[in-house]
Amino acid sequence: MKGLSETEFVTGYRHGNRRKLLFVLVCSVIAAVTFFISLFFGPSEISVQQCIDALMNHYGTVTDELADMVIWEIRIPEACMALITGVALAAGGAVMQTSLRNPLADPYIMGVSSGAYLGVAVFMAFGICVIPGLAQNYSIVINAFVVSLVPMTVILIASSRGKISSGKLILIGIAVMYIFSATTSLIKVLADEETLAEIYQWGVGSLSGQEWDEIGIALAVTTAGLFLLALQARNLDAVNGGPNIAKAVGVSVKFVILYSMTLVSLVTAGVVAFTGTIGFVGLVAPNIARLFVGNKMKYLIPASASFGAMFLIIADTIAKVVTPTGIPCGVVASVIGGPIFVIILMRQRKKALL
Amino acid sequence: MELKIEDLEFSYTADTPVLRDINLCITGPKFVSILGPNGVGKSTLIHCINKILEPTKGKVYIDGTDVSTITIKELAKIVGYVPYSANDTFPLSVVDTVLMGRHPYSSWKSLDNDLKIVYRTLRMLGITHLSMRPFNELSAGQHQKVMLARGLVQEPKILLLDEPTSNLDIRHQIAVTKLLRKLSEEQQILVIMISHDINIAAKYADEIIMLSGGTVYATGTPSEVITPENLQAVYEVEARVEDDGGRPHVILEDAVSMDEEEYYEDEPARV
């Protein structure tokens, strides 16, 4: 078989990498375009022209107060939240999968989202907040945030007692998720009708009703978290090779797993505390991105993030187009994304890399 | 270079050591083969050398440096490792798999140089045509070569291999073993390979370490170690050993029968 010359080898390698970056670029462009399209849809009846005017005039003279309010206080925040949530959950899922070496791992399965949900349910039903005396909005967020960190804490405690195996960590995550879900169900049973509706609403996940300062927090947490995770990209590749290989090339598996799992929990908690539980994107986006860019984390993290953002903003836009009153975007994401994912997996001939 | 192991002991559980009283001093460059029956602790021994496992007792020195005092990243520049089999959940391309071996040296700017080293190593092993292929689509023999390449780009002084020929047919077993011998001479490194095939080890190794009952039973040249008496004692097989151009060649005759009870007595359950 014909070998490669050194030039062919280096250019071939770099060319392959450029193609991976192209995937990131395409997803980002589609996400950006969909972002603008999504601004024209929503429950408020505002014409396209009004939307455009509101966009153009915001920093000049606002002529149409209502349109300006709808665009800048409702639609843009919602679209921003869709992008941030997509990025956070998808990149978080990619890192969880690789560090635990399991394509099933994602923030939802590992109990982070169900923890957030329980935190919210506890506040809504009993008015109990981990930091008492806060305004209602903040109490919900704080509760969601704190309880969603519980699975990670349990994992930290379990792993400090000796050997850490990824299978065991996933089982712990799933067990915690079940405990949380069961407790939430119990609270729902006990709750009165009105509270039940509120808890339910939060549980299906929604990107609407975001305040700018909430978006600021979610953005800050996501950006900082992903930056710190990106620094671990090469170490995560080594961990993916298995514990022995990782150690043999000088990487501490335990450190990488704890570091990345903690950050993923923080990043996920930073968004689900505001949006409610949005499943699926954390599982699906990384797995689809893997088909296009392979498994090297340097490319997989940005690819998952951009795909996740694209996925959620499209789902949210579809949700608004189909029913102006708004079915939750999490529902659309699962209903449309699920079959697409199954089809892609079934049609995929080659394993993993394209 | 010199690899020295002093009073090494390793146990997974408190009461039953897998390895005990291991004392070895190997000076290289040289091609060393570790022999011994199943479950005797061959892999455990090499894992103690590159700190995949921490010995329960005893010390490992490389050129006088106690390995417990240096980081695994520093150690990874001195000791390369080729595992028994690869089990990447999410496979990378061949280049990226091999590049992983450059991890202990890598920085944000080192990619050009790392790629150069990876290319040279792939060319030496004759597998540049596989460079862009996904690792999981390769054959068993190609896998072994890629994993060998990853160990070599660590530019180690000592290369540890855990049964690198276990999944290969006879032709590839000989080819890989010959290559390892050549590497130890050309690159002046100490190659330590766990082997199941006594005759291949006998034919190519400079030195044999024979383990039995969790400790070193015999060390020396193939002719010194591979004798009918040692084979009887360590493997419980009856064998003739003939001279094949100065090297021993084993012809198996019979094995000590193994009823179930005895089997479990001899083979401590691995954790």
Would you place residue B186 in the very low, low, confident or very high pLDDT band (cuts 50, 70, 90)? Answer: very high
Q: Are B25 and B2 in contact (CB under 8 A)?
A: yes
Enumerate residues 172 to 191 of chain B having a beta carbon within 8 A of any beta carbon in chain A. Answer: none
Q: What is the pLDDT of residue A179?
A: 93
Collapsing DSSP states into helix, strand and coil, what is residue A148? helix
ipTM of the complex: 0.88
Q: What is the pLDDT of residue B157?
A: 95
Which residues are CB-contacts of B78 (< 8 A; sequence separation ≥ 6)? B62, B156, B157, B158
Q: How many domains does chain B have?
A: 2
Q: Which residues of A touch B150 (CB under 8 A)?
A: 245, 249
Percent of chain A with pLDDT over 70: 96
Q: Which residues of B touch A234 (CB under 8 A)?
A: 103, 106
Give yes or no: residues B91 and B181 share one domain: no
Domain limit, last residue, from B110, B138, B154: B154
Q: Domain ranges in chain A?
A: 16-347
Q: Do A248 and B137 touch (CB under 8 A)?
A: no
Looking at the complex, does the CB of residue A10 fall below 8 Å from at least one CB of chain B?
A: yes
Q: What pLDDT, in 10s, does the model give residues B191-238? A: 999 998 899 999 999 999 999 999 999 999 999 999 999 999 999 999
Q: Beta B207-212 vs B190-194: how paired, if at all?
A: unpaired
What is the extent of the structural domain holding B213? 1-78+156-222
Query: Residue B175: which CATH number?
Result: 3.40.50.300
Of A9, A103, A242, the CB nearest to B131: A9
Q: Is the pLDDT of residue B139 over 80?
A: yes
Indicate whether B238 belongs to any domain. Answer: no
Give yes or no: residues B73 and B9 share one domain: yes
Q: Which residues of B touch A165 (CB under 8 A)?
A: none
CA pseudo-torsion sign B207, B208, B214, B215: negative
Q: Which residues of A touch B89 (CB under 8 A)?
A: 101-103, 240
Q: Nearest-CA residue of chain B relative to A353?
A: B134
User: Cα–chain-centroid distance for residue A172?
Assistant: 21
Give yes or no: residues B73 and B3 share one domain: yes
Q: Do A241 and B116 touch (CB under 8 A)?
A: no
Give yes or no: residues B160 and B212 share one domain: yes
Q: Which residues of A touch B192 (CB under 8 A)?
A: none
Q: What is the pLDDT of residue A50?
A: 87
Q: What is the pLDDT of residue A338?
A: 85
Indicate whether B103 belongs to any domain. Answer: yes
Burial of B124 (0-12, 13-18, 19+ CB in 10 A): middle
Question: What tokens were used for B266?
Answer: 């001899």
Looking at the complex, does the CB of residue A85 fall below 8 Å from at least one CB of chain B?
A: no
Q: What is the pLDDT of residue A164?
A: 67
Indicate whether B260 belongs to any domain. Answer: no
Q: What is the pLDDT of residue B217?
A: 95
Q: Do A238 and B97 touch (CB under 8 A)?
A: no
Q: What is the pLDDT of residue B262?
A: 55
Average confidence score pLDDT of chain B: 89
Q: Do B103 and A103 touch (CB under 8 A)?
A: no
Give yes or no: residues B1 and B68 share one domain: yes
Q: Do A350 and B137 touch (CB under 8 A)?
A: yes
Report in angstroms the alpha-carbon separations of B80 from A204, A352, B104, B193, B242: 51, 28, 11, 12, 35
Q: Nearest-CA residue of chain A relative to B117?
A: A6
Indicate whether B267 belongs to any domain. Answer: no
Q: Nearest-CA residue of chain A relative to B50?
A: A248
Give yes or no: residues B177 and B207 share one domain: yes
pTM for this predicted structure: 0.89
Of B72, B96, B132, the CB nearest to A252: B72
Looking at the complex, does the CB of residue A20 fall below 8 Å from at least one CB of chain B?
A: no
Collapsing DSSP states into helix, strand and coil, what is residue A254? helix
Q: Which residues face B255 on adjacent strands?
A: B237
Indicate whether B178 belongs to any domain. Answer: yes
Would you place residue A353 in the very low, low, confident or very high pLDDT band (cuts 50, 70, 90)? Answer: very low
CATH architecture, domain A16-347: Orthogonal Bundle (1.10)
Of A237, A247, A351, the CB nearest to B92: A237
Q: What pLDDT, in 10s, does the model give residues A21-30? A: 999 999 999 9
Give yes or no: residues B73 and B176 share one domain: yes
